[in-house]
Amino acid sequence: MNLRPYQLEAVAAAHEHLRTRPVDECPCIVLPTGAGKTPVLATIANDVVGWGGRPVIVTHVKELVQQSAERLRSLAGTTSVGVYSAGLGKRQLRCPITVAGIQSIHERARDLGRVDLIVIDEAHLVPPKGDGLYRRFIASVRSMNPHVRVLGLTATAFRTKTGPLCGPRNIFRSICYEIGVKDLIAQGYLSPLVTAVAQQHVDTSGLRVQAGEFVAREVEALMDRQGLVRGACAEIVAHTRDRRGTLIFASGVAHAHHLAEELIREHGVECGVVVGETPSRERAALIARFRTGQLRYLCSVGVLTTGFDAPHVDCVALVRPTHSPGLYYQMCGRGFRLAEGKADCLVLDFGNNIERHGPVDGVWKEPPSKRRGNGQPTKTCPECGEELPTACRECPECGCELPLSELLGAVAAKGASVISAEDGPLLPNQHRVVRTTYALHMKRRAIGAYPPLPSLRVHYEVDRGGTFVEWICVEHPRGSYPRMRAESWWAARSHAPFPKSAADALDAANAGELATTRRITVRKSGLDKFPRILSPILGPRPEWPPPATDERDAMDEQDELDDDGDDAAVEDCGVSA
Query: For 323-353, how does the pLDDT look when each residue is reduced to its tens digit (9 = 90+)?
Result: 988 889 889 999 999 999 999 999 999 999 9
The per-residue pLDDT for 139 is 92
The per-residue pLDDT for 563 is 47
Q: Which of 65, 53, 59 is nearest to 145 (CA)?
A: 53
The per-residue pLDDT for 315 is 96
Check whether 387 has a pLDDT greater than 80. Answer: no
Average pLDDT of the residues of the chain: 83
Residue 542, CB-side half-sphere exposure with 13 Å CA sphere: 20
Query: For 66-108, how does the pLDDT look when each residue is reduced to its tens digit (9 = 90+)?
Result: 888 888 888 867 689 999 998 889 999 889 999 999 999 988 8
Check whether 372 has a pLDDT greater than 50. Answer: no
The per-residue pLDDT for 572 is 31
Residue 117 near residue 56 (C-beta atoms within 8 A): yes
Residue 442, CB-side half-sphere exposure with 13 Å CA sphere: 2
Which DSSP symbol is given to 362? G
Tell me the pLDDT band of 205, cut-offs 50, 70 and 90.
confident
Residue 59 near residue 85 (C-beta atoms within 8 A): no
Tell me the pLDDT band of 371, cut-offs 50, 70 and 90.
very low
Distance CA 310, CA 67 (A): 12
Distance CA 474, CA 484 (A): 9
Q: Give start and end residues of each alpha helix (H) in 240-317.
A: 253-267, 280-291
Check whether 472 has a pLDDT greater than 90. Answer: yes
Distance CA 286, CA 290 (A): 6
Distance CA 172, CA 458 (A): 29
Distance CA 210, CA 208 (A): 7
The per-residue pLDDT for 369 is 41
The yes/no answer on whether domain 193-412 falls in CATH 3.40.640.10 is: no
Mean pLDDT of 131-140: 88
| Residue type at position 268 | G
The residues spanned by each domain of the chain are 5-179, 193-412, 430-546, 548-577
* Phi-psi category of residue 8: left, alpha or beta, with phi > 0 → left and psi -120 to 50 → alpha: alpha
Residue 47 near residue 109 (C-beta atoms within 8 A): no
Query: For 113-135, how does the pLDDT look when each residue is reduced to its tens digit (9 = 90+)?
Result: 899 999 999 888 777 665 688 99
* Degrees to nearest 5, angle at CA 334 with 181 and 183: 10
C-alpha dihedral over 492, 495, 501, 506, to 10 degrees? -80
Check whether 403 has a pLDDT greater than 60. Answer: no
The per-residue pLDDT for 433 is 95
Distance CA 27, CA 164 (A): 13
Cis peptide before 545 (omega within 30 of 0): yes
Q: Ranked by mean pLDDT, which of 311-315, 352-356, 406-410 comes out on top?
A: 311-315
Residue 91 near residue 74 (C-beta atoms within 8 A): no
Q: Ranked by mean pLDDT, which of 126-130, 376-380, 462-466 comes out on top?
A: 462-466
Compute the radius of gyration of the chain from its Cα atoms. 26
| Residue type at position 461 | E
Residues in the chain: 577
Residue 280 near residue 261 (C-beta atoms within 8 A): no
Check whether 290 has a pLDDT greater than 80. Answer: yes
User: CB 492: neighbour CB atoms within 10 A?
Assistant: 15
Q: Give start and end residues of each alpha helix (H) in 109-180.
A: 109-112, 133-144
Query: For 154-183, how does the pLDDT look when each residue is reduced to its tens digit (9 = 90+)?
Result: 988 877 666 778 888 888 999 999 998 888
Distance CA 319, CA 470 (A): 42
Tell me the pLDDT band of 293, cut-offs 50, 70 and 90.
very high
Distance CA 262, CA 234 (A): 9
The per-residue pLDDT for 382 is 54
Tell me the pLDDT band of 475, cut-offs 50, 70 and 90.
very high
The per-residue pLDDT for 88 is 87
C-alpha dihedral over 212, 217, 222, 228, to 10 degrees? 110
| 5-179 and 193-412 in the same fold | yes
Mean pLDDT of 254-283: 94
Contacts with 217 (C-beta within 8 Å, 6 or more apart), sequence order = 252
Query: For 536-558, how does the pLDDT look when each residue is reduced to its tens digit (9 = 90+)?
Result: 889 999 998 877 655 555 555 55
Check whether 143 has a pLDDT greater than 90. Answer: yes
Which of 474 and 276 is assigned the larger pLDDT?
Answer: 474
Contacts with 441 (C-beta within 8 Å, 6 or more apart), sequence order = 454, 455, 456, 457, 471, 502
Which DSSP symbol is given to 51? T
User: CB 263: neighbour CB atoms within 10 A?
Assistant: 24
Domain 5-179 is classified in which CATH homologous superfamily?
A: P-loop containing nucleotide triphosphate hydrolases (3.40.50.300)
Distance CA 157, CA 165 (A): 5
Which of 382 and 128 is assigned the larger pLDDT?
Answer: 128
Q: Which of 225, 174, 221, 184 is nearest to 361 (CA)?
A: 184
Tell me the pLDDT band of 400, cut-offs 50, 70 and 90.
low
- Could you please report the per-residue DSSP string of 89-115? TEE--SSSEEEEEHHHHTT-HHHH---
Q: Give how far the C-alpha of residue 446 lies from the chain's centroid of Cα atoms, to the nearest Å.
A: 33
Query: For 21-54, how does the pLDDT look when each residue is reduced to its tens digit (9 = 90+)?
Result: 999 999 999 999 889 898 999 999 999 999 999 9
* Degrees to nearest 5, angle at CA 276 with 273 and 279: 75
